[in-house]
Structure 1
Amino acid sequence: MTYVSSFPARKIKVNGVKKLYFGGTAYLGLQKHKKFLKIYFKNIKKYGTNYGASRKSNIKIDVYDEAEKHLAKLVGSKACVTLSSGYLAGQLACNYFKAQGHSLFYAPNSHTALHQNNSSNYASYSDLAVAVENHIKKSNVTPVVFLDSLDFYGLNYPNFKGLQQLPLDKIIVVADDSHTIGLPLNNGTGCYAQLHKLNPKELIVCSSLGKGFAVQAGAIFGTTKRIEELKNTAFFGGASPATPANIATILTAESIYKKRQQKLKQHIQLFLKGLNNKELFTFMPNHSAFTYSDQKITTYLKEHNIIVTSFNYPDKDSPTMSRIVLSAHHKKKDINKVVSLINTLYD
């Protein structure tokens, strides 16, 4: 466990020693970006630091509707609703369908944000397919299948082969798209359009907006009818929304997002071009997280003052999750250093 006293950006200081940081989910590296912060502070001056009222209040701030239309257009959905976090977005979707009497099924590696009570993931898509088929034979209620669109192990994005084993025309699909929306993958649009082409009975996508847009917020995308139903729940009405300054920044920092997406894409290409042992890693096209299992990499990089993501996730009894995460805030020399060290380790 390593403690730091400021945001872990490109560099962190541990016991007085500066180290390069290749972890976390600040993919675009905007949390300490001067031009981005200038826009963000301007929005705070206009909207304040917090808005604790319900979105169902008789007083409404128009920036929410404006941003939700913008986000829906970006991903290709009919409608969108924003919330204070991606976790809350997942929980709203989960609680809503459970309350409606649907049976919930979880694909392998699904995030805890999508879970309710002690529900668990199926070990394989084959097992999931059998369970869903059995449910359909016995019940007239449409099953709901939850998954992470990008699961860091290649089971879903980019081909969604496992999902295509299911009778999608008889299933509501709820996908957590937190690690794709706003990032270079699919030009920032996430996986909504890809999933929609698979023709599920209904598609809902929920997401954190913090990873791609660098502000604390979440969102749900779907049909106009379904989004309105979600907005009319007590769960939604009783929760405070994302701060309007955060939501406004998604609109006003659009040009910065595009530039940083392009920079991150270049970093990914640089990393892959220099790496000799690509088979050591699991990675997806145009995504900057490179998952690995050989803990020699973690140890060797740490010896050379490079910290990566490596911990038991999502709880202490889970296996160690290790990955190198590239960010737009890195410099070319940082990436070349990591590549050189990995190549040296396996020479």
Structure 2
Amino acid sequence: MSHYIDTFPGRKIKLNGVSHLYFGGTSYLGLQTDDDFQNLFINNINKYGTNYGASRKSNIRLRVFDEAESYLANLVGSEGCITLSSGYLAGQFLAQALNTKQHHFFYAPNTHSALYQTIKKPYTTFAALNIAIHEHLASSKTTPIVFLDSIDFSGCNYPNFEALKVLPLEDVILVVDDSHGLGIVGENGGGVYSILSKLKIKELIVCGSLGKGFGVQAGAIFGTGERIHSLTETSFYGGASPATPAAMATLVEADIIYDIKRKRLQRNIDHFSRHLKKRKTFHFMKGHPAYTFSDVQLTEYLEANRIIVTSFPYPDESAPLMSRIVLSAAHKKKDIEHVLHCINILP
């Protein structure tokens, strides 16, 4: 059931005049309703304006973009980084740029639609994907490109990427959407780049949204210096408007806030995981705040107890129902205790 609201859904949400706890969405660090973060963003809007519609190739250039990209590259552990106006655009940019005669696309299970450029279906298993890649390498000189989501909510990839390791990675360009990992998992919220860079991959490219973990409307791509430079030379990059400079400045200046919020989120995750009795009801990953489930009745039961969770077909109406409890740094201990009580007393 869809609910229409008129304010940002923080730790609480009001439906038909009745207050509910909100355990959904992707505001993992609860930044969008945080006073300190908002004040920082507002100060940067006063400095940089509400929007910047010029090309990054313009003769007038704002330093803050380069500063933000250097900050992100250092955080993630990549040689280079470019930012765009959204994570979805970053994925589409990569898929378009890599869609050449020299490459052949493969999609791992549960790959997000942001990475699709051609009409293809993802492989249902990594075993089937592995066979297909080996057959391709034996019959073609084109380089296989494997697209996947780092956080696919099944626990198949992050944190250990065991299924991925069976692939012939030394012959593969790996493109990873880390939208649900950036700012949240990895050292200091650096995501999965440093984890995957330890594998023997022909080339690693990571992209994703900065909205979920960093609270700003923007996307980013991480990779080798050569790859990033080649992307900046395209008409796609030169023709697109960038993320707002106020968002980029806030990203660089909110380091202390991010650190505090990540620690608070981890405490919430630890508490929920430690006291959750019906663990087999959920799919979840260590250190990540999303707990996926398939029981429609659980969603209805939680709503009856004034708890709203994420539950809708994603990414379109023909897709399976996606239901999950999402913790955030904004949640208080009493909020989590209430959800735990409601779940743990079920037969």
TM-score, normalised via structure 1 length = 0.98
Alignment of 1:173-252 (within 5 A): 173-252=174-253
CA RMSD of aligned residues (A): 1.0
Alignment of 1:70-219 (within 5 A): 70-99=71-100, 101-219=102-220
User: Structure 2 CA distance, aligned partners of 1:41 and 1:99?
Assistant: 42
5+ unaligned residues in a row in structure 2: which ranges? none
How much does 1:230 deviate? 0.6
Residue in structure 1 matched with residue 272 of structure 2 by the alignment? 271
User: Structure 2 CA distance, aligned partners of 1:186 and 1:110?
Assistant: 24
Residue in structure 2 matched with residue 53 of structure 1 by the alignment? 54
How much does 1:187 deviate? 3.2
How much does 1:293 deviate? 1.4
How much does 1:199 deviate? 1.3
DSSP 3-state at the match of 1:143 = strand
User: Structure 1 CA distance, aligned partners of 2:175 and 2:242?
Assistant: 21
Residue in structure 2 matched with residue 280 of structure 1 by the alignment? 281
Residue in structure 2 matched with residue 336 of structure 1 by the alignment? 337
How has the CA–CA distance of structure 1 residues 100 and 204 changed in structure 2, closer, same or farther, with 3 Å as cutoff? farther
Residue-pair matches, total: 346
Q: Is the 8 A contact 1:85 1:208 kept in 2?
A: yes
Q: Is the 8 A contact 1:153 1:283 kept in 2?
A: yes
How much does 1:3 deviate? 0.7
Residue in structure 1 matched with residue 26 of structure 2 by the alignment? 25
How much does 1:327 deviate? 0.5
How has the CA–CA distance of structure 1 residues 167 and 117 changed in structure 2, closer, same or farther, with 3 Å as cutoff? closer
User: Structure 1 CA distance, aligned partners of 2:251 and 2:49?
Assistant: 16
Q: Is the 8 A contact 1:185 1:287 kept in 2?
A: no
Q: Aligned letter for 1:275?
A: L
Residue in structure 2 matched with residue 11 of structure 1 by the alignment? 12
Q: Is the 8 A contact 2:75 2:188 kept in 1?
A: no
Deviations 1:156-199 (A, max 9, x none): 01111111111000000000011111115443010001111111
How much does 1:101 deviate? 3.7
Deviations 1:214-253 (A, max 9, x none): 0000000000000000111111111000000001101111
Q: Aligned letter for 1:18?
A: S
DSSP 3-state at the match of 1:65 = helix
DSSP 3-state at the match of 1:63 = helix
How much does 1:100 deviate? 5.6
Q: Aligned letter for 1:344?
A: I
User: Structure 1 CA distance, aligned partners of 2:174 and 2:295?
Assistant: 34
Q: Is the 8 A contact 2:12 2:19 kept in 1?
A: yes
Deviations 1:28-47 (A, max 9, x none): 00101111111000110110
Q: Aligned letter for 2:268?
A: H
Q: Aligned letter for 1:324?
A: I
Q: Is the 8 A contact 1:185 1:285 kept in 2?
A: no
Q: Is the 8 A contact 2:289 2:326 kept in 1?
A: yes
How much does 1:277 deviate? 1.2
DSSP 3-state at the match of 1:88 = helix
Aligned pair 1:308/2:309, yes or no?
yes
Give the stretch that moved more between structures: 275-284 or 80-89.
Answer: 275-284
TM-score, normalised via structure 2 length = 0.98
Q: Is the 8 A contact 2:69 2:83 kept in 1?
A: yes
Residue in structure 2 matched with residue 290 of structure 1 by the alignment? 291
User: Structure 2 CA distance, aligned partners of 1:264 and 1:200?
Assistant: 32
DSSP 3-state at the match of 1:324 = strand
How much does 1:147 deviate? 0.3
DSSP 3-state at the match of 2:33 = coil
Alignment of 1:27-46 (within 5 A): 27-46=28-47
DSSP 3-state at the match of 1:205 = strand
Give the stretch that moved more between structures: 27-36 or 133-142.
Answer: 133-142
User: Structure 2 CA distance, aligned partners of 1:247 and 1:107?
Assistant: 31
User: Structure 2 CA distance, aligned partners of 1:171 and 1:198?
Assistant: 11
